[in-house]
C-alpha cells in the first residue's frame, strides 16, 4: 500500500534522516515507522478495523502525521478535520461521514463530549508512551484500491462534503506531481497550510520523494522567518495572505537570509505587487499551485524565475498549465471542449480524481461527468495551454485560503432572534483577500444589535467564517425566482469597514 511503501523505502535507504520536524521535536524515518506501527497496534486493540473512518482533529503536529500512516496501515480511512471546526459542525459531518473514532488534541476533542472509548487524545502521557512502545504492527490490511482518506470540503449548501480518495489515486497524483516539480530527498518543506484539508495530498507528494516535512502548530510570521533562516528550509507551502503577513514582518526593502528554492502558493491569486515584493525579499522562485480536492489535488502549475528577467515568458496572471498525466480543458455546459480563448468551465481528467462524495451520489454525478471533474471555475485557455481564471461559478468567499460559503453563514445568522432576512457576500480585504459581510433585515419591532449577533455566531461557526461586519438594510435584493442578487449587494457594499 502506498503510504506503507513510502515508509519502507525511506527506512531502507535513509532511515536515520529526519522525516518530520516540529520545533525541537523530530522523527527520523525509522522512528516515524516505529511510531506508526505502534499506534496501529494500539488502535487495532481498541477495535479500529479495516474500513472504519477515523477523524484526526488537531493543529499541525507530529502526531497528525503519525496518525495518517498508522490508519493507512490498518486500511481505516483518515478524515482530517480543521481544528477550528465547531462542535456543531463536527457532529453534523461525523454523522454523515460515519466517523467511528476521533484522534486529536485535547481541547478540540474534549469539546465534542464523546465517550472516552471513541476518542484518543494526543497530549496525554499514555498516548506518548504508545508512540515509543516499539510494537509490531498488525498485518498490513490495506490495498491500493482501498479508501485512504475522506477529505472534507464544502458544497453550495456550505455543509462539508466528504471526498473519498483511494491509496492508488494518491499514488498516481504523487507521481504526476513529482515528474513536474522534480522533488528529491534534499528538500526541506515547511508546510504552513493545515494538514486537515486537501493540502495533505500535496504534502504527501513531497513525503513520497523523501523530503523532510516541517510543521508548526501556529502561524506566527516572525517564527516562520526564523525557521526559514535557521532550519535550511528549501520549500515553503503557503497561501498569499500568509505571505502578506510575512512581508509585514520582513519590513520594507529588507531581505531574508535563506536557502529557499521555491515558495509555493495556492487557494487564491497573488497580486503582482505582493509577488514582486516577496521575490525581492526572499530571492527565490515562486510556484503557483491550482488544484481541487475532487480532482485529486494539484492539476495546474507555473514556476517563476527568481527575478522578472528569469520568468521565461510565463504568464504569471494565469493559473498555470497541466502537470504530466493530467488533462485539463475548458468545456461548455454540455461538457464539450472549447477552443483557446473561449470562456467556459475548467474541467479535469485525472486517474487520481476522487472516487465519489460520501453519501451523495447526486452531487457526484453533477461533479464527475464522463470521467471529467467539473471544477465550477470559469476560465479560458491560451494557445500554450495556460489556464486563465475568469470568475468563480459559485459564490465561494476565499478568506485566507479557506473557503467560506455564504449559505452556511446565512443559515447561522438567520437563527438569531430578530433576523427577518439575510444575505452574505465576500468583500475585498487587504489582509485576508476576502472577508464575509452580512446584510440583515430586522423584524419589525425587534431589538437588534450587530455586536450581539456576532457574539451569537462565535462557537456556531468556525472563526474564519465569521462575518467581519453585519449591516442592517431595508430589504435583500432578489430576482424573480427568489435568489439573492449578490452582484447588487457587492455594488452597494464598497470596502468592508
What is the rounded CA–CA span in Å between residue 233 and residue 238? 13
What is the rounded CA–CA span in Å between residue 66 and residue 38? 10
pLDDT on residue 154? 54
pLDDT, one tens digit per residue, over 91-138 is 999 999 999 999 999 999 999 999 999 999 999 999 999 999 999 999
Residue with cell 461557526: 461
pLDDT at 420 exceeding the cut of 60: yes
Q: What is the largest CA-CA distance in the chain?
A: 73
pLDDT on residue 341? 96
pLDDT on residue 155? 43
Query: Which of 84, 398, 82, 60 is CA-nearest to residue 224?
Result: 60
pLDDT at 287 exceeding the cut of 60: yes
* Mean model confidence pLDDT for the chain: 92
pLDDT at 168 exceeding the cut of 90: yes
Determine phi and psi for 244, rounding to 5 degrees. Answer: -65, -45
pLDDT on residue 416? 92
State the cell numbers at 440: 440583515
Residue with cell 452574505: 424
The CB-based long-range contact list for 407-411 (8 Å cut-off, 24+ gap) reads 407/156, 407/157, 407/158, 408/154, 408/157, 408/158, 408/159, 408/461, 408/465, 409/158, 409/436, 409/438, 409/461, 409/465, 409/467, 410/438, 411/158
Domain ranges of the chain: 2-308, 397-493
Degrees, nearest 5: CA angle 179-185-189? 90
Query: For 225-232, what is the mean pLDDT?
Result: 96
Residue with cell 510494537: 135
R_g of the chain computed on alpha carbons: 23
Query: Which of 119, 144, 130 is CA-nearest to residue 47?
Result: 119
pLDDT at 49 exceeding the cut of 90: yes
Determine phi and psi for 322, rounding to 5 degrees. Answer: -65, 150
Query: For 448-476, what is the mean pLDDT?
Result: 92
Answer whether 216's CB lies under 8 Å from 208's CB: no
pLDDT at 158 exceeding the cut of 90: no
What is the rounded CA–CA span in Å between residue 239 and residue 191? 10
- Beta partners for 489? none
What is the rounded CA–CA span in Å between residue 348 and residue 338? 14
Domain 2-308, CATH 3.40.50.620 — does that match?
A: no
Among 24-33, 421-430, 454-463, 473-482, the minimum mean pLDDT is found in 473-482
What is the rounded CA–CA span in Å between residue 323 and residue 198? 17
Residue with cell 476560465: 379
Residue 481: pLDDT band (50, 70, 90) is: very low
Query: Which of 292, 71, 92 is CA-nearest to residue 197?
Result: 292
What is the rounded CA–CA span in Å between residue 190 and residue 483? 43
- Beta partners for 331? 337, 345
pLDDT on residue 157? 41
Distances (CA, A) of 307 to 240, 241, 269: 18, 21, 19
pLDDT on residue 497? 47
pLDDT, one tens digit per residue, over 385-409 is 999 987 666 677 888 888 787 878 8
pLDDT, one tens digit per residue, over 56-97 is 999 999 999 999 999 999 999 999 998 888 899 899 999 999
Answer whether 474's CB lies under 8 Å from 492's CB: no
- CATH code of 397-493, in short, is 3.30.300.30
Residue 104: other Cβ atoms inside 10 A:
26
What is the rounded CA–CA span in Å between residue 79 and residue 340? 39
Mark out the alpha helices in 120-270 (DSSP H runs): 125-131, 167-181, 199-208, 221-230, 240-250
pLDDT at 262 exceeding the cut of 70: yes
- How does DSSP assign 174-208, residue by residue? HHHHHHHH---TT-EEEE-S-TTSTHHHHHHHHHH
Task: Tell me the percentage of the chain whose pLDDT exceeds 70.
Answer: 96
Answer whether 243's CB lies under 8 Å from 215's CB: no
Answer whether 326's CB lies under 8 Å from 349's CB: yes
Task: Tell me the percentage of the chain whose pLDDT exceeds 90.
Answer: 75
pLDDT, one tens digit per residue, over 172-183 is 999 999 999 999
Query: For 7-19, what is the mean pLDDT?
Result: 98
Answer whether 254's CB lies under 8 Å from 247's CB: no
Amino acid at each position: 500500500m502506498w503510504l506503507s511503501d513510502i515508509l519502507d523505502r525511506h527506512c531502507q535507504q535513509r532511515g536515520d534522516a529526519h522525516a518530520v520536524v516540529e520545533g525541537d521535536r523530530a522523527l527520523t524515518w525509522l522512528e516515524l515507522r516505529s511510531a506508526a506501527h505502534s499506534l496501529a497496534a494500539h488502535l487495532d486493540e481498541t477495535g479500529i478495523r479495516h474500513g472504519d473512518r477515523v477523524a484526526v482533529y488537531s493543529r499541525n503536529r507530529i502526531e497528525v502525521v503519525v496518525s495518517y500512516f498508522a490508519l493507512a496501515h490498518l486500511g481505516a480511512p483518515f478524515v482530517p478535520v480543521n481544528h477550528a471546526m465547531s462542535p456543531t459542525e463536527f457532529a453534523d459531518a461525523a454523522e454523515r461521514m460515519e466517523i467511528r473514532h476521533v484522534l486529536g488534541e485535547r481541547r478540540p476533542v474534549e469539546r465534542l463530549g464523546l465517550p472516552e472509548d471513541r476518542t484518543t487524545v494526543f497530549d496525554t502521557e499514555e498516548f506518548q508512551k504508545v508512540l515509543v512502545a516499539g510494537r509490531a504492527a498488525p498485518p498490513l490490511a490495506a490495498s491500493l484500491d482501498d479508501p485512504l482518506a475522506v477529505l472534507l470540503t464544502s458544497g453550495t449548501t456550505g455543509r462539508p462534503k466528504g471526498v473519498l480518495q483511494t491509496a492508488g489515486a494518491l499514488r498516481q497524483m504523487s507521481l504526476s506531481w513529482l515528474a513536474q516539480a522534480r522533488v528529491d530527498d534534499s528538500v526541506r518543506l515547511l508546510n504552513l497550510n493545515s494538514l486537515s484539508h486537501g493540502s495533505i495530498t500535496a504534502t504527501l507528494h513531497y513525503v513520497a520523494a523523501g523530503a523532510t516535512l516541517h510543521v508548526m502548530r501556529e502561524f506566527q510570521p516572525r517564527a516562520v522567518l526564523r525557521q526559514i533562516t535557521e532550519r535550511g528550509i528549501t520549500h515553503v507551502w503557503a497561501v498569499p495572505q500568509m505571505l502578506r503577513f510575512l512581508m509585514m514582518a520582513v519590513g520594507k526593502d529588507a531581505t531574508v537570509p535563506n536557502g529557499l528554492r521555491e515558495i509555493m502558493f495556492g487557494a487564491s491569486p497573488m497580486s503582482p505587487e505582493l509577488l514582486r515584493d516577496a521575490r525581492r525579499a526572499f530571492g527565490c522562485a515562486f510556484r503557483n499551485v491550482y488544484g481541487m480536492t475532487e480532482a485529486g489535488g494539484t492539476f495546474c502549475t507555473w514556476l517563476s524565475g527568481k527575478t522578472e528577467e528569469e520568468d521565461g515568458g510565463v504568464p504569471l496572471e494565469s493559473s498555470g498549465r497541466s502537470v504530466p498525466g493530467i488533462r485539463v480543458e475548458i468545456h461548455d455546459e454540455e461538457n464539450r471542449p472549447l477552443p483557446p480563448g473561449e470562456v467556459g468551465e475548467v474541467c479535469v481528467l485525472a486517474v487520481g480524481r476522487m472516487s465519489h462524495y460520501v453519501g451523495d451520489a447526486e452531487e457526484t454525478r453533477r461533479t464527475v461527468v464522463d470521467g471529467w471533474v467539473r471544477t465550477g471555475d470559469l476560465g479560458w485557455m491560451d494557445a500554450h495551454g495556460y489556464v486563465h481564471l475568469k470568475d468563480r461559478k459559485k459564490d465561494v468567499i476565499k478568506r485566507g485560503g479557506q473557503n467560506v460559503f455564504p449559505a452556511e453563514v446565512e443559515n447561522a445568522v438567520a437563527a438569531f432572534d430578530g433576523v427577518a432576512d439575510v444575505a452574505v457576500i465576500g468583500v475585498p480585504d487587504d489582509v485576508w483577500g476576502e472577508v464575509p459581510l452580512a446584510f440583515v433585515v430586522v423584524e419589525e419591532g425587534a431589538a437588534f444589535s450587530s455586536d450581539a449577533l456576532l457574539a451569537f455566531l462565535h462557537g456556531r461557526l468556525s472563526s474564519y467564517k465569521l462575518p467581519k461586519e453585519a449591516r442592517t438594510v431595508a430589504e435583500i435584493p432578489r430576482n424573480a425566482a427568489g435568489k439573492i442578487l449578490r452582484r447588487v449587494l457587492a455594488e452597494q457594499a464598497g470596502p468592508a469597514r
